[in-house]
Structure formats: structure tokens, C-alpha cells
Structure 1
Amino acid sequence: MKRYLAVALGVLTAIGGFVDIGDLVTNAQVGARFGMSLGLVVVIGVLGICVFAEMSGRIAAVSHRATFDLVRERLGPRMGLLNLFGSMAVTLLTFIAEIGGVALALALVTSVHHLLIIPFVALLLAVLLWRARFSFLENALGLLGLVLIVFAVALWQLGPDWSELGRQMTTADKPGSETWVDYSYFAVALFGAAMTPYEVFFFSSGGVEERWKVKDIAVMRANVFIGFPLGGLLSLAIAGSAAVALQPAGITVDSLGEVGLPVAMALGKIGIALAIVGFVAATFGAACETGLSVGYSLAQYLGWQWGKYVRPDKAGAFHVTMLACTLIGVGVLMTGVDPILVTEFSVVFSAVALPLTYFPILVVANDPDYLGEHVNGRLANTLGSVYLVLVCVAAVAAIPLMIATGMGQ
């Protein structure tokens, strides 16, 4: 029974934790402008994150060692440093976007300007990163993020033509008013949002913290292959509700309030109240995960003591790194930069950093010195290789498309 409860809890937290500020904004923007014509990109991205999350979880369960520790040892300190720099830069940018997302969500409730809320969000975040148990950060916030299922309910209540949404999704039916360059830009952004690197860092590091063993691989796989796809369905519901409610009216998404507009139209005040709770939970949970991921990456590469189960006085550098990143986030956001703009940058640069994140995982997952008989099989290697090509194409295309489209404007 305990094993089944572990699977159920892991699946629920994977669903609630999959959607962050990048997924919220990007899926809503895409739905409002392109309908469901980019829905297959979400499906492809979810399958990709499942492939590499399973590899990283298996590495943690068999080797009992963290990702960047193995990357440095397997690829050498120079290549490891390149991977560390690229991955940390994107994770830090995502961390800043998540802090801004929490402030924007709270501003919807309080009507207080988000700049006044940011210091209080950062203070609470710092306290949780320093003191809260790992299980709270992983489970409580993920479960609360399940409230975002209200988007699926709203989509149902809006009474869409399901066959038309399916046709758009399966035929990639781009609206005639949109250019293929803009379409390609948002495809890359959506792919980057689905395969954000911090999700893998947090997942594998959590496995080491919780002392996964070979016998836990089955539970880990259930969490990955059930939880992430259901989280992907939640992303599609956000895009679908925007496609049904906003696209016909020509409404674009430029703020977090507009992300929740379809829910308000379908379910009224109760619906939007639940959506805001989901916004806060999802963005705050992702802020905790990204903050931890920055600390995990640096500490693992440098060989510091790390982990939420290690007291701060025993893992001081790890905890100080997270606090320093929180201060950096506050400093950037207090300049007045739009958190939505930071979010858009973060999903694009996530695409740029994908090869630096996933190539080392594929290499280590094929090394029998670390995994023995649990190295990748033919299917995992085939999918991993295909996705490595895809992430390289996305990485090369991301910056030119961002410049050519003026970030999709």
C-alpha cells in the first residue's frame, strides 16, 4: 500500500509541478494567437522531458550520485564547466521569472503593484529555501498547483467544437493571419517551456536526497510517464481555453490576468479565484524548485555538501548560493523590468541551453561504469538521439527567430 501511495503522490505532484510561469504564459499566448495548431509541440516536448527525466532518475537510483557530479567526472572539468554555466544561467533566469510570476499573481488579488510585493515574496522564498523540508517543497506546493485543473473545467464549460480543435492540432493548421516565422518562434518557445532544464535537475537531485535505490525505479517511472503527460494535458487545456475564448475576439495575452480571462468567462468569480490560487502555487513551487536547482548545480559541480536534508550549518555554501540568487532576482525585478518579458526570455534561452543539459545525461546513461546493467536500452537511446537532434535544431534557431520576430510581436 505504501508503494501505491508513493506512486499516487508522485503523479499528483508531477502534474501540479509541471506547469510554471513559462508554461502558463506561453501556452496562453499560443492558444490566443494560433489556436491549437501548435498543440503537437506540447506533446513532443512532454515526451522529451519524460525521456530525459527517466534517464536522470535512473542514474540517481543506480549510482546514488548527482547529475553535475557525474558530468564533471565523465566529461571532464572544462566540458562540465560549460554545461554548468549554460544550465545555471537559464535556471537563474527562470528563477527570476518565477519570483516575478508570484508577485504578479498576488497583485491580481491585492491590487497592490507587483514591485511592492516582490521583496515580501523574496523574503518568504528565502525562509522556505533555508528552513522548509524537501517534502513540503516537493509535495505540498505541487498538490496545491493541481487547482489549475480549473482550466480544463473552463474549457469544457466554454463548449468548444472538439473536432475543430482536434483538426487544428493534428494538421498544424496555422491561422492565415500569422506568418510562418512567428509560428516557428512560438514553436521553439513552447518546446523550451515544456523541456525546461531545471525540472530534470530538481527531479534527479531529489532522487539522491530521498536515497532512491534500484527497487525504486518502477515508482520513479510511474511518476514520470503518468505525471508529466497529465501535466502536459493541463498545458493543452490552458492553450485550448485561450483558443476558444480569446482567439475569436482577437485578444492577445500580455499579462497574467489575461491568462486567467477564459476561466473568468466560463466560471465567473469562483473560477478566477481558483485560477489565482493555482497561479500562486505553481509559480511559487517553481520558484522553490529553480532556486534549489541553482544551488544543486553549483554545489554538485564544485563538490560542496548539499541538500535540503543537510542542515544549513553543514551545507552553508549550498544555502548561501540560493539566498544570493534570491537577492539577484529581487535586484533584477526591482529595476521595473516586466516579469512577463523575463518569462519570454527564459523560455527562449531554455531552448538554447537544452543541448548543454541533455547531451551529458545521454552520455552518462550509456556508461556501464555508472549504471551497470541499467544503461539505456535501444528505445531509450533511439528517443534520446532523436531528441538530441531536435534540441540542437531548437537551440540554433531560437535566437535568430527571437530577433527576426521581435519576440513574436
Structure 2
Amino acid sequence: MNWRNFQLGPAALVAAAFIGPGTVVTASLAGANFGYALLWALAFSVIATLILQEMAARLGVVTRQGLGEAIREQIQRPALRWAAMALVISAVVIGNSVYQGGNLSGASLGVEALIGSSASWLPLILGVLAAVLLWSGNYRLLERVLIGLVMLMSVAFIASFLLVQPDWTAFFRGLFIPSIPTGSLLTVIALIGTTVVPYNLFLHAASSAQKWRGAEDLPRARGDLVVSIPLGGLISIAIVSTAAAAFFGQAVQLEGAADLSASLRPVAGEGATWLMGIGLFAAGLSSSLTAPLASAYALSGILGYGGQLKSWPFRLTWLAIIGIGTLIASAGIRPVEVIMFAQVANGLLLPIMALFLLWACNQQRLGEHRNSLPQNVAAVAVVVVAIGLGLRSVGAALQWW
């Protein structure tokens, strides 16, 4: 790759998407409960994400289509197409409507940590801010805002990690030597599941189709990928390690991201608390933009409306998601049943989308850019893991019901 032409782009949106408040909570609990032992799961997640997102980006760059359009065009049997549409709507659109409440709540908690008091009106203000940015219909503006938020998260979470003075020997052991301590299996699955998510496949393919001009831009798209995705993984690793250094083996109970921010004050001082608040705000706001954006790309594509940012079907989709999320966050509602339903749909959608991507990237229309044998072997391995994750996610939700 020619690094002189390097620029961050759609892959940075993917990084912004998978580092949300849910990831902060999951990573914090992983570090507090199991120390550095599960860092290898995040390293694996980064590799799996690189494999899937490279295929999604290549599909978008070469075909100039998003994943939703590709599904609509390539799946000819009506029954299969309707089943795919139902899964996408259930997992991406309905699911993100609920998760949006958590995104706005997380961003609000970050602001509250900075101002030192709670404010019930914050979710509404942040929801309006997200809507204004998306309403602009300016892809370049959205990209720059999200890249800025990723950079802000990187500085905040990595600086917090360095302030708590980690155990470097334990850090590298956990990163490179896989282990599953007693009681940690569900946490391993959660760490992987918060990084390898199906809606990012729609977001990456569609935004790549908008950003890049054609196959000649594949080197730039891949350069963006190999920088942005590992950077997102590094942020998750920093959060796990911060919680591990500060709380593992201590009599401190973390129940959420707000607890992490407040509990860091006696461990690493006021500066770490501020950094964690900034990071949580950036994580929540970035996901508050990418979740509605990905949903609009997915629904518009699969229904044949196209992915124009200023089209009314596109705008109505993300407006509905932001509106529902703002109501949930403002009212403090915890719609557990809907979240469980979305988890089931996501558990089914990820392996199906991974299989479809694998099939689509072996089609003749990609020409010389079809999957090579090593790419197929790597993709099959990730698909097998995706199926296992999907079955476990569905099983856990059904057991809860």
C-alpha cells in the first residue's frame, strides 16, 4: 500500500460503531472480574472483524453496492429474500432502535461524569445533536465527526490505561496466551460479540460504495481497514486493562460504565475520571450516529430505496431510531424483552450474513477481486465461530425467556 495516499474512512466508522457504551461495560466487567486473562479474546475479535469487514468493503468498492442491495439483487427466491429481509429488519432496525437508548444513556453518563451532576435532559440534547448531524446528509462531515470521536476515544481510554500503571507481564500473557478462567465463558462470548457485529457489515459496504470510486481504490480501503479496526480493538483492550489494573482482586463491584468512571478517582486520580468520562461520551455519541446510519443503509438497500443520505426513506429510518432511542433513554426504560428479541435476531443474522458475504465474494462479477483460497479458508473459520456465537446468543436469550 502507498502510505502517502492513506486516509481514514469507512473503516473508522466501523470502529466508532463497535466501541459503544455496551462495549465499555462488557470490557470493564471483563477486566474487573478476570484481570488481563481475556485480552486474547479481543485480539481474536480484531482478526475476525478484519476478515469480515474486508469482504464487506471489497463488495462495496468493487460492485458499488451496499450489502442490502447485494442481498436484494443476488437472492432470487422470494421466500429466501423475505426471510433475509425479516432478519435484517428484526436485528438491525428494531434492535438498533432499542440499543440507541443505551447509546444515548452512555453518552449522557459521560457528560454527567464531566459536569459532576446528573441531568435528565441530556439524552434529548444528544439525540437532537445526532439528528442534526445525520440530517445534513453530508457523508464527508459525518465521516470527519466519527473519525474525530474515534481519536478522542483513543486518547481518553489509552491515557486512562497508562495512568493506572498496568502489570505488563500479565498484560502480554493475557493477550497472547488464550485461557478461559472458571465462569468466564459468557464474558469471552460477550467480548467477541460486541466487536464482531452484523450491522457493521451493512455500514461498511454501503459507506465504502459512497466513499471510494471503484476497484482502483481497494488499496486505500484496505489501508483504512488495517489501521481503523486494530485501533478500535486497542481501545477495547485499554478498557479491559484499565479495569484489570484498578479493580481485579479488589473488593470493588462494577455494575456499569458510570461505576468505572467514579471508581477510578481513588485509584488514579481526578485525571483518570475525566478521561473515562470523555471516552464514555465519545463512545456513546459515536454509536448514536452509526447505529441509525447502519439501520438506514440496511433497510433502504434491502427494500430497494437506495442509500442516498438525503432521501426521505433513508431519513425516516434513522429519525425513527433516534426518536425511539431518545424516549427510552429519557424515560429510563429498560425494555429487556425487546433487547432479548434483538439478541436472538442478531445471533441468527451474523452467521447468515457471514455466509452470504463469503458466497458473494466468490461470485464472477467481482472478477479478479474474488476471494483467494487463503481468504476463503480464513472466512470459513470466522463463519464457524459466528455460527457458534449465534447459537450461544439464541440459546441464552431463549433460556432467559
Which bin holds the TM-score, normalised by the shorter protein?
A: 0.7 to 0.9
The match for 1:124 is 129
Q: Distance in 2 between matches of 1:348 and 1:268?
A: 41
Aligned residues: 395
For the structure 1 residues 27 and 319, does the alpha-carbon distance in structure 2 shift closer, same or farther, using more than 3 Å as the test? same
CA distance in 2, matches of 1:278, 1:394: 28
Please say if 1:226 is aligned against 2:227: yes
The structure-2 alpha-carbon separation of the partners of 1:10 and 1:389, relative to structure 1 and needing over 3 Å to count, comes to closer
Q: Is the 8 A contact 1:26 1:344 kept in 2?
A: no
**How far 1:281 sits from its partner (Å)?**
2.0
Distance 1:363 1:264, change over 3 A: farther
Alpha-carbon distance in structure 1 between the residues aligned to 2:34 and 2:241: 10
> Is contact 1:11-1:227 (8 Å) kept?
yes
Q: Which residue of 1 aligns with 2:384?
A: 389
> Mean Cα displacement is larger for which, 13-22 or 103-112?
13-22
| Structure-2 change in CA distance of 1:342 and 1:32 (3 Å) | farther
- 1:157-176 to 2 correspondence within 5 Å? 157-174=163-180
What letter is aligned with 1:233? L
How far off its partner does 1:86 sit? 4.1
Structure 2 equivalent of residue 328 of structure 1: 324
Partner of 2:333: 337
Q: How far apart, CA to CA, are the structure 1 residues paired with 2:291 and 2:133?
A: 13
Q: Is 1:154 equivalent to 2:160 in the alignment?
A: yes
Secondary structure of 1:317's match?
helix
1:249 is paired with a residue of what secondary structure? coil
Cross-structure match for 1:269 = 270
Deviation sequence 1:43-74 (CA, Å, 0-9, x none)? 11111111111111111111111111111221
Distance 1:80 1:168, change over 3 A: closer
- 1:379 counterpart (356, 374, 383): 374
Opposite residue 328 of structure 2, the aligned amino acid is: V
TM (norm. structure 2) is 0.87
For 1:216 and 1:191, the matched residues in 2 are separated by 30
| Residues 63 and 191 (structure 1), Cα distance of their counterparts in 2 relative to 1, 3 Å cut | same
Deviation at 1:147, TM superposition (A): 2.7
How far off is 1:168 after superposition? 3.8
Deviations 1:117-146 (A, max 9, x none): 222222222222112522222222322332
**Does the 8 A contact of 1:42 with 1:236 survive in 2?**
yes
Distance in structure 2 (CA, Å) of the matches to 1:14 and 1:332: 24
| SS of structure 2 residue aligned to 1:194 | coil
CA distance, structure 1, for counterparts of residue 241 and residue 335 of structure 2 = 24
Q: Secondary structure at the match of 2:390?
A: helix
Match of 1:78 among 69, 82, 86: 82
Alignment of 1:71-110 (within 5 A): 71-76=71-76, 77-88=81-92, 89-110=94-115
Distance in 1 between residues matched to 2:342 and 2:269, nearest whole Å: 31
The alpha carbon displacement at 1:231 in A equals 1.9
Identity %: 22
Conservation of the 8 A alpha-carbon contact between 1:126 and 1:323 = yes
Q: Is the 8 A contact 2:66 2:301 kept in 1?
A: yes
Give the letter aligned to residue 103 of structure 2.
E
State the 1:332 CA deviation.
Answer: 2.9
Match of 1:135 among 125, 128, 140: 140
Superimposed CA distance per residue, residues 73-113 of structure 1 (whole angstroms, 9 cap, x where no aligned partner)? 21232243144234423333333321222222222234554
Conserved? CA contact 1:86–1:353, under 8 Å: no
The 1-side partners of 2:321 and 2:260 are apart by 28
Deviates more, 1:97-106 or 1:84-93: 84-93
Alpha-carbon distance between aligned partners in 2 of 1:215 and 1:99, rounded to the nearest angstrom: 38
Distance 2:25 2:159 in 1: 19
User: CA RMSD for the aligned pairs?
Assistant: 3.1
Is the 8 Å Cα contact of residues 98 and 328 (structure 2) preserved in structure 1? no
Q: CA deviation at 1:325?
A: 1.5
Task: Quote the Cα distance in structure 1 between the aligned partners of 2:398 and 2:32.
Answer: 22
Match of 1:63 in 2: 63
Range with bigger deviation, 47-56 or 202-211: 202-211
Aligned 8 A contact 2:72 2:302 in 1: yes
> How many Å separate the matches in 2 of 1:127 and 1:36?
40
- What are the ranges of 5 or more consecutive residues in structure 1 without an aligned counterpart? none
Query: Whole-Å Cα distance in 1 between the matches of residues 266 and 336 of structure 2?
Result: 22
What whole-Å deviation, never above 9, does each CA across 1:213-253 have from its counterpart, x for those lacking one?
11110011111122211221221111011011011213232
Quick check: 2:157–2:235 contact (8 Å CA) kept in 1? yes
